[in-house]
Amino acid sequence: MNLHDRIYLYMSIQLLIHVLSVSLSSHWDIEHIVFGEDVILTCIINVCSNSVKSWVGGQSYDLLCRSNFSTNPSKYEMISEDSGRSFGLRIKNFTFDDVNCKYTCTCGLHQYTSILDVEAINYTYPPRIIENSNFQTAEEYVVDVVIEVYPLPTCFIKYEGRDIQVNLTSNSSTLSTFDKRRFGSNKMYKGRIKHTLQIIKPNNCDGNLLVTCEVDSRNYTVYKQNVSMCKDHSDINVTTINEQYVTVFVIIIACALFLLGVVLLWKRVKQRKPCEMSCLDNTSNLKCIWKKQPENNNEPQTVVDEPLIQL
């Protein structure tokens, strides 16, 4: 082997060692996925300094970000670290379209590519209502919703200070099985929350009803509704109050009529007394005139008072 071949072999070995070392020290990582929230992919390349950084990926495997430029700012954002050896990609409002596809981080001539496989990542799918059959009667409110969620939650119904724990029951054979429609063989639980809420006290017939679920130590509001059941009770109260008002009104009218009759009778008696006394009183300015009755009439003669005119 001549000197030229030795030099070429040495440079090839050094290049291979460099490539292997870069490959072993380059990767991107993700800790936890919550569907519907922002997710960050972190790329670490030890030899990356001031080189141009970029991200390529997604369903169509297109350019997502390059330095401070984003092809879709509402969806992707480049995140730079102070150390210079790592940078990230923020994926906003993470959905099923963002999983099970390749993502490549590049820094200068160095890059790392991997598939975002949701099966190998800890993830949370917050509860989402897919069927709503709630209904209300005169005396109760029936909560009946079907949700999709992962992992299995602990759910509560809260109404005016009452916390009622409810179990997630099977709506169909899809409970505790794999949902393969959107993201492979990953688990997606589908279940029903059903509970009849009865109003015990008439004065506790209006308020906010909440259905909440705890998933991975986080609370999510599944359903919120202002429930008012005061109509029937208010009609009863109004009817009772009206009856009381009518009774008081009738009593007042009766008392007023009674007092009016007493006053009229008292005035009539007071007007007759001077006339009766005038016939016997010599000082009165009235004189008594005796009217003659028919001869065959045995009734006493009538006395009529007439004023005495003095000249």
Q: What is the per-residue DSSP string for the chain?
A: --HHHHHHHHHHHHHHHHHHHHHHH-EEE--EEETTS-EEEEEE-TT-SSS-EEEEETTTTEEEEETTEES-TTTEEEEE-TTSSEEEEEESS--GGGSSSEEEEEETTEEEEEE--GGGSEEEEEEEEEEE--EE-SSEEEEEEEEEEES--EEEEEETTEEEEE--EESSTTTTSB-TTTSTT-B-EEEEEEEEEE--SGGG-EEEEEEEEEETTEEEEEEEEEEE-HHHHHHHHHHHHHHHHHHHHHHHHHHHHHHHHHHHHHHHHHHHHHHHHHTT-TT-SEEEEEEPPPTT--SPPEEEEEEPPP-
In a domain, 273, yes or no: no
Pair (12, 55) in one structural domain = yes
In a domain, 148, yes or no: yes
In a domain, 309, yes or no: no
| Measured distance CA(209)–CA(207) in Å, rounded | 7
Q: What is the pLDDT of residues 255-299, one digit of tens each?
A: 888 888 888 888 877 776 555 555 555 555 555 554 555 555 555
In a domain, 251, yes or no: no
Pair (103, 192) in one structural domain = no
In a domain, 218, yes or no: yes
Of the residues 120, 137, 166, the one at which a domain ends: 120
CA-wise closest residue to 93 among 48, 38, 133, 44: 38
In a domain, 276, yes or no: no
Query: Would you place residue 77 in the very low, low, confident or very high pLDDT band (cuts 50, 70, 90)?
Result: very high
| Measured distance CA(230)–CA(118) in Å, rounded | 49
CATH of the domain at 173: 2.60.40.10
Task: State how beta strands 162-166 and 154-159 pair.
Answer: antiparallel
Pair (102, 83) in one structural domain = yes
Residue 218 scores a pLDDT above 50: yes
Query: Would you place residue 162 in the very low, low, confident or very high pLDDT band (cuts 50, 70, 90)?
Result: confident
Query: Would you place residue 71 in the very low, low, confident or very high pLDDT band (cuts 50, 70, 90)?
Result: very high
At 221 the pLDDT is 93
Residue 122 scores a pLDDT above 80: yes
Is 106 or 10 the better-scoring residue by pLDDT? Answer: 106
Pair (111, 23) in one structural domain = yes
At 213 the pLDDT is 94
Pair (107, 130) in one structural domain = no
Pair (112, 158) in one structural domain = no
At 173 the pLDDT is 38
Residue 150 in contact with residue 124, Cβ under 8 Å? yes
Pair (219, 162) in one structural domain = yes
Of the residues 228, 263, 281, the one at which a domain ends: 228
Of the residues 195, 228, 261, the one at which a domain ends: 228
In a domain, 261, yes or no: no
| Measured distance CA(109)–CA(55) in Å, rounded | 13
At 265 the pLDDT is 82
Q: What is the pLDDT of residues 235-245, one digit of tens each?
A: 444 455 567 77
Structural domain count, the chain: 2
Pair (161, 219) in one structural domain = yes
Number of Cβ within 10 Å of residue 110's Cβ equals 17
Pair (7, 115) in one structural domain = yes
Range of the domain at 158: 126-228
Is 67 or 279 the better-scoring residue by pLDDT? Answer: 67
Pair (113, 140) in one structural domain = no
Q: What is the pLDDT of residues 178-198, one digit of tens each?
A: 344 445 556 778 888 988 887
282: Cβ–Cβ under 8 A, 6 or more apart, which residues?
none
At 14 the pLDDT is 42
What average pLDDT is seen over the chain?
A: 74
In a domain, 194, yes or no: yes
Average pLDDT over residues 145-169: 87
**Lowest-pLDDT range, 96-100, 153-157, 250-254, 295-299?**
295-299
Pair (102, 171) in one structural domain = no
